[in-house]
Structure 1
Amino acid sequence: MRSTGKMTRVPNNMVSVSLWITVIIIFGSLCDGGKILVAPLEGSHWVNMDILIKALHGQGHTVDVIRNANSWFIKENSTYYNTITIPNTKGWDEEFAADFVYKMIKYEKEKGSWLSIVRLYLNVFDAVKKTHEMVCQLITNILDSEEILKMLNEKQYDLMLTDPVWGTGIILAHKLKLPMVYNVRWTTTGEGHFDIAPSPMSYIPITGSGNTDRMSFFQRLKNYFFYLLLDLQLSHFNVKQYQAICDKYFTSRVNYHELLQGADLWLMRVDFVFEFPRPTMPNIIYIGGFQCTPAKPLPHDLEDFMQSSGDHGVIVMSLGSLIGNLPETVTAEIAAAFARLPQKVIWRYTGKKPSTLSNNTLMVDWMPQKDLLGHPKTKLFISHGGTNGVLEALYHGVPVIGIPFFFDQYDNLIRLQARGGAKLLSIADLGENTLHAAIKEVINEPSYRLNMQKLSHLHKDKPVKPLDSAIFWIEFVMRHKGAAHLRTESYKMPWYSYHSVDVVVTLFAVVLIFTYCIFVTVRYLCVKCCSRKRKTE
Structure 2
Amino acid sequence: MAQHVVFCPAPSPGPSFANLAPPLSPWGSRSPSLYSLFIHNCPLCGVEFEASQCPFPASYVPSHYTDHMTLRQRSANFLLALLEPLSCRYLYSGVNPIASDVLQRETTGPQLMSKTSIWLMCFDFSPPAEKAQQFFDVFRQVLQRVVWRYIGAVPENPPENVKVISWLPQNDLLGHPTVKALITHGVIHGIHEGICNGVPIVMMPLFGDQCDNVQRMAAQGVGKVLSINDVTSDKILKALNKIINDKTYKKKITKLWAVHKDCPVNPFYLAIFWTEYIKRHKGAGHVTAAAHELNWIQYHCLDLFTLLIILVITVVMATVKPSDSVFTIAALRSWRTVTHFHLS
TM range (shorter): 0.7 to 0.9
Cα 1:492–1:241 change in 2 (3 A) is farther
User: Which residue in the other structure is 2:190 paired with?
Assistant: 389
Structure 1 counterpart of 2:71: 217
Residues 1:496 and 1:421: Cα distance change in structure 2 (over 3 Å)? same
2:18 counterpart residue number: 160
- Shifted more, 357-366 versus 471-480: the winner is 357-366
> TM-score when scaled to structure 2?
0.82
> For the Cα contact (< 8 Å) 1:345–1:362, is it kept in 2?
yes
Distance 1:255 1:406 in 2: 24
Contact between 1:404 and 1:410, CA under 8 Å: does it hold in 2? yes
Alpha-carbon offset, residue 444 of structure 1 = 0.8
Q: What is the aligned partner in structure 1 of residue 304 from structure 2?
A: 503
Give the gaps of 5 or more residues in structure 2. none
Give the CA deviation at 1:533. 5.3
**Residue 349 of structure 1 contacts residue 365 of structure 1 at CA under 8 Å; is this kept in 2?**
yes
Q: Could you list the per-position Cα deviations for residues 28-53 of structure 1 after superposition, in whole angstroms to 9, with x for gaps in the alignment?
A: xxxxxxxxxxxx965xxx9xxx8xx9
Q: Which residue pairs with 2:61 in the alignment?
A: 204
3-state DSSP of counterpart to 1:379: coil
The structure 2 residue matched to 1:226, chosen from 80, 84, 87, is 80
User: Retained in 2: the 8 A contact 1:160–1:169?
Assistant: no
Q: CA 1:323/1:502 → structure 2, altered by over 3 Å: closer, same or farther?
A: same
1:128-185 deviations in whole A, cap 9, x for unaligned? Answer: xxxxxxxxxxxxxxxxxxxxxxxxxxx97435343552244542x13x4544444547
1:238 corresponds, among 71, 91, 105, to 91
In 2, distance between residues paired with 1:387 and 1:322?
A: 13
In the other structure, the counterpart of 2:285 is 484
d(CA) in 1 for partners of 2:159 and 2:321? 89
Aligned residues: 336
The whole-number CA distance in structure 2 between the counterparts of 1:342 and 1:250 is: 58
Partner deviation per Cα, 1:338-389 (whole Å, 9 max, x = no partner): 2222222233334344477433333344433333222222111112222332
Q: Could you say which structure has the larger radius of gyration?
A: 2
Question: Which residue of structure 2 aligns with residue 349 of structure 1?
Answer: 150
The alpha-carbon distance between structure 1 residues 458 and 232, as it changes in their structure 2 partners (threshold 3 A), is same
* Structure 2 counterpart of 1:280: none
Q: Deviation per CA, 1:286-312: give whole Å up to 9, x if none.
A: xxxxx9xxxxxxxxxxxxxxxxxxxxx
**Equivalent in the alignment of 2:114:** 261
On the 8 A contact 1:332/1:356 being kept in 2, the answer is no
Give the partner amino acid of 2:46.
Answer: G
Are 1:192 and 2:45 an aligned pair?
no
Decide which moves more: 374-383 or 459-468. Answer: 459-468
Distance 1:443-1:478 versus aligned 2 partners, 3 A rule: same
Helix, strand or coil for the counterpart of 2:59?
coil
SS at 1:435 equivalent: helix
Change (3 A) 1:533 1:215: closer
What amino acid maps onto 1:454 in structure 2?
Answer: K
Distance in 2 (CA, whole Å) between partners of 1:469 and 1:431 is: 41
In the superposition, relative to structure 1, how do residues 405 and 326 fare at CA in structure 2: closer, same or farther (>3 Å)? farther
Pairwise CA distance, 1:455: 2.6
Partner Cα distance (1:408, 1:518) in 2 = 53
Q: Could you say if the C-alpha distance between residues 325 and 495 of structure 1 is closer, same or farther in structure 2, counting changes exceeding 3 Å?
A: same
Change over 3 Å in CA distance of 1:480–1:321 after alignment to 2 = closer
1:326 corresponding residue in structure 2: 129
Distance 1:534 1:366, change over 3 A: closer
Tell me which residue corresponds to 2:237. Answer: 436
1:212 Cα deviation (Å)? 1.0
Alignment of 1:338-417 (within 5 A): 338-354=139-155, 357-417=158-218
Measured in 2, the distance between the counterparts of 1:427 and 1:188 equals 18
RMSD between aligned residues = 3.4
Relative to structure 1, the CA distance from residue 392 to residue 62 in structure 2 (aligned partners, 3 Å threshold; closer, same or farther) is farther
Contiguous gaps of at least 5 residues in structure 1 = 1-39, 64-154, 270-290, 292-319
How does the TM-score come out when normalised to structure 1? 0.55
Judge conservation of contact 2:21–2:38 (CA < 8 Å) in 1.
yes
- Matches of 2:162 and 2:321, distance apart in 1: 87
Q: Match for 2:70: what amino acid?
A: S
**1:415-494 alignment to 2 at 5 Å?**
415-494=216-295
Report the secondary structure of 1:456's partner residue. Answer: helix
Paired letter, 1:387: I
Q: Please state how far the C-alpha of 1:449 moved relative to its aligned partner.
A: 1.6
Aligned to 1:240, the other structure's residue is in SS state coil
1:147 maps to which residue? none
SS at match of 2:68: coil
* Distance in 2 between residues matched to 1:259 and 1:353, nearest whole Å: 41
